[in-house]
Amino acid sequence: MKHIFTGFNLVGALALLALAVGCASYQVRTTESLLSEAGFQMRTPSTPAQLAMYNQMTPYKLERNTFEGKALYSYADKQKGVAYIGGDKAYQRYKPLAAQQNQMEAAYSKMLAHEDQVWGVNYE
């Protein structure tokens, strides 16, 4: 019976180790990098009207607006003083990238939470 539990421990440790190896290449991708990858254009407000609109934007939140009957998505990075602007196509490319990033972050957090179990396995 002791050998069965040891076998289960070994299989569990190997599964978590495989997860750790998969997450070893995990890179934190910022919202800004995902927006750029999706095709959003980074713009610095250069006119008083643009600056007024920029100052009304909620920082670090992707917002949907309508301009001339078309959807326009904007994201303000207040620390850098820029806005990311994109249309429906850019937004449709962004959604799966953001979902994938969220899944990677969840898997990485789970791996870190179980790291102690990986190293605490008894390999008798």
User: How do the domains of the chain map onto residue ranges?
Assistant: 2-119
User: Which pLDDT belongs to residue 105?
Assistant: 87
Summarised one tens digit per residue, pLDDT across range 7-40 is 445 545 555 445 444 544 556 789 999 999 999 9
Q: Residue 86 CA to chain centroid, in angstroms?
A: 18
Of residues 62 and 16, more confidence is placed in 62
At residue 54, what is the residue type?
Answer: Y
Structure confidence at residue 5 as a pLDDT band (50, 70, 90) = very low
Mean pLDDT across the chain: 81
Name the strand (E) or helix (H) holding 12: helix 2-24
106 strand-pairing partners: none
DSSP letters spanning 27-58:
----HHHHHHHHTPEEE---SHHHHHHHHHSP
How many C-beta atoms surround the C-beta of residue 74 within 10 A?
21
